[in-house]
């Protein structure tokens, strides 16, 4: 088979898997009861996914993992976390983190 056929089969397979995974909950509906411990664990799934996306973007550079003070995204992320911890303001954390990021890049050319 040609490589194009493999690509189309992969697209079809991923589409089918996604459709089955998402539609099963809708079709089964109320008949599917998850144990309370699973339901409580699923409440954290969106936060965990978001943390994974943010952490990889903040900590990874083209050269790889960068936890040094030369990484302006890392420092801005720390500042945003500190602002959120102090004031419990998501908007404040976003604006504060971006301000720290821009200042570090402007002063140090990061």
Predicted confidence at residue 32, as pLDDT, reads 79
28: its two tokens: 């089964």
Interval 6-17: pLDDT, tens: 999 999 999 999
State the pLDDT at residue 110: 55
Q: Which residue has the tokens 């821009």?
A: 102
Over residues 62-80, the pLDDT tens digits come to 889 998 888 899 999 999 9
Q: Give me the chain's average pLDDT, please.
A: 91
pTM, rounded to two decimals: 0.61
- Give the DSSP H/E element, type plus range, for residue 61: strand 60-61
Number of H helices, E strands in the chain: 5, 2
User: pLDDT tens digits for 27-71?
Assistant: 887 787 889 999 899 899 999 998 999 999 999 988 899 988 888
How far apart CA 36 and CA 33 sit, in angstroms, is 9
pLDDT at 28: 82
CA distance 4 to 90: 45
Under DSSP, the state recorded for 32 is -
Asked if pLDDT for residue 82 goes beyond 70, the answer is yes
CA distances from 41 to 32, 50, 96 (A): 16, 15, 31
Task: Please state, in angstroms and rounded to a whole number, the distance separating the CA atoms of residues 16 and 109.
Answer: 47
């Amino acid at each position: 088979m040609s490589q194009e056929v493999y690509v189309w089969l992969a697209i079809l397979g991923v589409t089918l898997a996604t459709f089955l995974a998402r539609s099963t909950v809708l079709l089964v509906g109320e008949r599917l009861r998850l144990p309370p411990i699973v339901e409580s664990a699923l409440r954290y799934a969106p936060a965990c996914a978001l943390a994974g996306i943010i952490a990889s973007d903040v900590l990874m550079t083209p050269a790889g993992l960068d936890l040094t003070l030369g990484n302006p995204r890392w420092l801005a992320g720390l500042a945003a976390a500190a602002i959120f911890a102090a004031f419990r303001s998501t908007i404040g954390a976003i604006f504060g983190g971006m301000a720290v990021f821009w200042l570090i890049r402007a002063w140090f050319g990061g």
